[in-house]
Structure 1
């Protein structure tokens, strides 16, 4: 213990160099933990987005692309599904429930989803948790809209507010459906999934928005249909974007998937959400590992900086080592002193890095969740994170043995007379 106190006193005498070394280790440890925390939470967030859905059906494309635009609201569909194909799927005796999804519009950068009441009844997330309304009720009228928690919070909407939806999915749209405003009738409880960043309207409401559109552009003059006139029309959709299916029996999943993939009416594709999610993570695995390796090299750089600082000071401290030898210190005491200094620097860096991580999470938690939908909890480090921190300390001890061995050899040779 006295050696550790002596090491701290020595570092205090070189406080500026010690501070820079601790700062370098702290920043590298913080980066390593931040990368690991983001990776873990992103994976958990993706995995908890959808639960209890057996098949996702969309136009034939890639399984990852279908999963991204139908569940995560990322990207766009290559094509739509005809309404009669959806009705055949919904009426299949193997299907317990079907949730139609219609995408394509937005509001101030947030996606608009057209669906029906089955969405609020059967869509589950996390560990089979159902959607709940924190305020209001599900949509009933054509021009009702139910907001995700993040949309309501970020845009400061409340029940009864009127909003105008825009065509397309860009943050700034030049074409708005200003003649058909929607009224906020419900706000969903927070889920930590893309549901929070979505505005939900009925399929009829989605159809009403585009009932007077021709060739991808709104009608002008006499061809324009008002909101009240649209109510009198048949607003059954002609096409939708995707369908979520829940089956009566899990045994029938693969058989129905094969039947959908071989459907002759139009090119369709059915995927299992879990399998597609694993494929997504396998595609991202290389980038994920590369980022982790870069973080490890940053930590290594910080430890090498510590090693350099101690080695650089050795020649200046030869008189100090000689004086310690004169008062009875043995060579192994000198060795232990240098190792203790390296450990103290690494320990201070790790603790500071951990504190820096929590400060960064506390500051960035809200904006990261708002803009990226990623929730970073302020929780105690996981076992794996403790392992990483322990690895940093062990690496620091091993590196500390290099200057310690040199000091050990010098203390044997120098004695009391030091050449300056």
Structure 2
């Protein structure tokens, strides 16, 4: 206890250098914990981009490809699904709800998705959070030319309720084929979710069908063959095909049986995937980047500890008079060595405490912003067992590094005795 008080008094005597060392360790510890917490929560948030959905069904391809275009709006489907196939599967007694999805068009680089009002009722993200309207209302299934915007689309393009927009054929950023004869009216803007929903324009299936009702072989009809928006409203806009659909089942027990039945569907080749399994498979492909970020943060911690070691070693020659005085009052060489080890532990311990304070201060300031922009929820909780283990590893590394100046001080105190030989 006397040695600890002496170590703290010595650090207080060199308070400016000690503060810089503590602050460097605090920043590195804060960064390590922040990276670990963001990494953990990002993985949880990624896994809950879609929640409450039991199966995603699309044309037979790969599970990751199906997940990418149906949930993340990345890539394209290999084929469409007949509307009759969707109705057959949706009518199964084990199915609680079914959400059809029709893709293929875009607007200024953002994807357009055709669906029905069941999407707004049953789609869940995060911790089973439902979609909410920020402004306006959801579109109506019987009004084909209404569009509901994701938050990012509305904010980046500065769209407001009542504005009329023109959609484009295909998903390229620059489109030459525009559906300019059938503009859509913005009737709603969704609250921000931090998911691909924010980057999507939502229209009804009837609206998607109306856009292409007079198109043949990927090009619009010409002359008198063109069908106006008013004419399209009077026609049967039941879709002939969709891109994919999501299923919610009455019982989780039926999930695997339903998945097997869909994969063996005789009407056409289909693929049903469990969203959670596909998300974990997709996340594993990004594991290298995740580990690289963690390794970088470890090197930052190592840099902070090396800075501490350098500061202690640099001060050794200046403190030889101090050590000679300690020897004159009865301190043994191992007391001097222990003093240096305790200083290293004290610097690191204070750095860890300050790092925790900085971490929670950062969470308090940024948690709402991260939640609204990226859907990333950072919990204001005590460190987990793994985080405590990381902090313990930092303290252990400091202990090992503290033995280096301690050994030098031990040797110097033996050779100097009560006199100083510089």
TM-score range, shorter chain: 0.7 to 0.9
Distance 1:155 1:356, change over 3 A: farther
Contact residue 179 and residue 227 of structure 1 kept, 8 A: yes
Distance 1:287 1:214 in 2: 44
Name the structure 1 match of 2:303: 301
- Structure 1, 95-104 or 118-127: larger mean CA deviation: 118-127
Q: Is 1:235 the equivalent of 2:245?
A: no
C-alpha deviation, 1:153, in angstroms: 4.3
Indicate conservation of the 8 Å contact 2:126/2:375, yes or no: no
SS of match in other structure, 2:61? coil
1:289 and 2:291 are equivalent in the alignment: yes
Q: Displacement, 1:230?
A: 2.5
2:256 to 254, 257, 261: 254
Distance 1:266 1:409, change over 3 A: same
State the partner residue of 1:186.
Answer: 188
Change (3 A) 1:311 1:239: same
Pairing 1:327-406 to 2, within 5 Å after superposition: 327-351=329-353, 353-354=355-356, 362=365, 366=369, 370=373, 373-377=374-378, 379-380=380-381, 382-383=383-384, 384-406=386-408
Give the Cα–Cα distance (whole angstroms) in 1 for the partners of residues 243 and 17 of structure 2. 66
Pick the aligned partner of 1:3 from 6, 11, 16: 6
2:315 and 2:7 mapped to 1: Cα distance?
Answer: 18
SS in 1 for 2:50: coil
Residue number in structure 1 paired with 2:86:
86
Q: Where does residue 245 of structure 1 map in the other structure? A: 247
Name the CA distance, whole Å, in 2 between partners of 1:136 and 1:304.
57
Matched residue SS, 2:398 = helix
| Alpha-carbon offset, residue 202 of structure 1 | 0.2
Change (3 A) 1:13 1:146: closer
Conservation of the 8 A alpha-carbon contact between 1:180 and 1:227: yes
Q: Give 1:76's aligned residue.
A: 76
For residues 216-235 of structure 1, what are the structure 2 equivalents within 5 Å? Answer: 216-219=218-221, 222-235=224-237
SS at structure 1 position matched to 2:148 = strand
TM superposition shift of 1:242:
0.7
Alpha-carbon distance in 2 for matches of 1:266, 1:250: 25
Residue 106 of structure 2 is matched in structure 1 by 106
The answer for unaligned runs of 5 or more in structure 1 is: none
Going from structure 1 to structure 2, the CA distance change for 1:346 and 1:75 (only over 3 Å counts) comes to farther
Question: Aligned partners of 1:99 and 1:39: how far apart in 2?
Answer: 31
Shift of 1:258: 1.6
C-alpha deviation, 1:100, in angstroms: 0.3
8 Å Cα contact 1:83-1:239 kept in structure 2: yes
Assess, with a 3 A threshold, how the Cα gap between structure 1 residues 270 and 35 changes in structure 2: closer, same or farther.
same
Q: Note the alpha carbon deviations across 1:131-190, whole angstroms, 9 max, x for none.
A: 333443221111111223444444444432333333344555454433322222223344
Say if 1:260 and 1:269, in contact at 8 Å, map to a contact too.
yes
Q: Secondary structure at the match of 1:234?
A: coil
The two structures have a TM-score, normalised by structure 1, of 0.85
Q: Evaluate the alpha carbon distance shift between residue 113 and residue 412 of structure 1 in structure 2; reply closer, same or farther with a 3 A threshold.
A: same
The range that moved more, 114-123 or 381-390, is 381-390
Across the two proteins, how many residue pairs are aligned to each other? 415
Q: In structure 2, how many angstroms separate the alpha carbons of the residues matched to 1:31 and 1:78?
A: 43
User: What residue ranges of structure 2 are gaps of 5+ in the alignment?
Assistant: none
Structure 1 Cα separation of the partners of residues 209 and 198 of structure 2: 23
Q: Distance in 2 between matches of 1:30 and 1:77?
A: 43
TM-score w.r.t. length of structure 2:
0.85
On the 8 A contact 1:7/1:337 being kept in 2, the answer is no
Give the drift of 1:27: 4.4
Moved more, 382-391 or 240-249: 382-391
Is the partner of 1:98 in helix, strand or coil? Answer: strand
Q: Give the match for residue 266 of structure 1.
A: 268
Compared CA separation, residues 10 and 341, structure 1 to 2 (3 A): farther
More deviation, 346-355/241-250? 346-355
Could you tell me how far apart the structure 1 residues matched to 2:124 and 2:288 are? 30
Q: Is the 8 A contact 1:11 1:341 kept in 2?
A: no
